[in-house]
Amino acid sequence: MQSKFHNKFRNTALLLTVTALSVLLFACSNEASTSAPASENPGNVSVNQASKDTETGKQTSADEDNVGQTRQFKDWTGHTVTVPVTPQRVIYHGEVTGDLVALGVIPVGILRQEGMVFDDQVADSEDVGFPFSVERAVGLNPDLIIFSNSDEAQYDQISKVAPTVTFDSFATLEERMRTLGDLLNKKQEAEDWITAHQTATEQMWKKLRDHGLKEGETASVFTMYPGNRLFVMAGAGLPQLLYGKNGMEPTPEIQKLLNEEMGFAEISTEKMTEIAGDRIFILEPVTDDAKQSTKELMDSAVWKNLPAVKAGKVYHFDIVKASGDAMSREWLLKELPEQMIQ
């Protein structure tokens, strides 16, 4: 059941996505898919069979047999929906399009966010807008719409276009992949991706510890929002990786936010002294005014006196690329050690 905060969190996330500040404010590739063995590239998650099928344009005979068949599916907010067994034309409206891409499903319609690591793969996907454009959706002739929102009024309108299911884009990555694997008839692909991802994540943290990352080190993630507003990230995007299994620790103040299931919180510059960890991660914003605010922050005495800054343990990530979807996670598994190992 979704909390009142989660509702507010989701609406804020979508609004920020539209303003191009990243799905990371809440929330949380092709570049990650290489031929290098996992042992040589711990951050690499192998390309799964779904991706191979997409690239070759082939479809299994089992999938062909399922085309046109339907089944019942109970969605995130409790609707029981008659959906295709093997959807052919999917619209995904939400923050984690990369989850579908990782399963080899390229939606015909998406909530477009420029600058994602998988942009090339969704270049032909239609932007269905924010709010969701029913008119654009009708023109795409979808057989399934996945709607990452709990707004019943919007759902009622959208569900008139095609079978529509709600989807919790702020569930854990593993939960999301399994749900989508079930919904899209990609269960095995989802399990394969999860297994490869878990292995790659373990290898990445081992590599970082082999290069000086100590057990119990704390991390904090900050970003500037237009209007000179400073946010600390907690339960979405990059922090989900940092605070995951075998990873780093949140500081006590960030742990409080996590305990309250908060994705982020606005703070004062002075508050950074209480929140900053042994290592600091900065999500570089998109807009010019937020970039200027970031520069001013780093010129401040508060910033310069933080222990992590003095120790040179500050790392910068593009806020759009460092998102919480599966494809962005693959990218982060490579990018994190590249930045942290000097």
Task: Look at residue 79 and tell me if it is in a domain.
Answer: yes
Residues 172, 285 within the same domain: no
CA dihedral (263, 267, 269, 272) positive or negative: negative
Percent of the chain with pLDDT strictly greater than 90: 77
Mean pLDDT to the nearest integer, 294-317: 97
Mean pLDDT to the nearest integer, 296-309: 97
Task: Look at residue 204 and tell me if it is in a domain.
Answer: no
pLDDT at 37 over 80: no
pLDDT at 54 over 60: no
Residues 168, 291 within the same domain: no
Q: How far apart are CA 243 and CA 27, in angstroms?
A: 16
Least-confidence region, from 28-37, 68-77, 235-244 = 28-37
pLDDT band at 4 (very low <50, low <70, confident <90, very high): very low
Residues 189, 215 within the same domain: no
Residue 97 contacts by C-beta under 8 Å, 6 or more apart in sequence?
A: 107, 110, 111, 113, 116, 118, 122, 325
Residue 290: domain span: 211-340
CA dihedral (130, 135, 139, 142) positive or negative: positive
Residues 168, 29 within the same domain: yes
Q: Where are the alpha helices (DSSP H) in the chain?
A: 4-18, 49-56, 61-66, 97-102, 134-140, 152-158, 173-183, 187-210, 238-242, 252-259, 272-275, 288-298, 301-304, 307-310, 326-340
Asked which of 141, 167, 193 is the last residue of a domain, the reply is: 193
pLDDT at 123: 97
pLDDT at 235: 84
Residue 314 contacts by C-beta under 8 Å, 6 or more apart in sequence?
A: 279, 280, 281, 282, 308
Asked which of 193, 224, 259 is the last residue of a domain, the reply is: 193
Task: Look at residue 64 and tell me if it is in a domain.
Answer: yes
Structural domain count, the chain: 2
Mean pLDDT to the nearest integer, 118-131: 97
pLDDT at 299 over 90: yes
Task: Look at residue 198 and tell me if it is in a domain.
Answer: no
pLDDT at 232: 97
165 three-class SS: strand
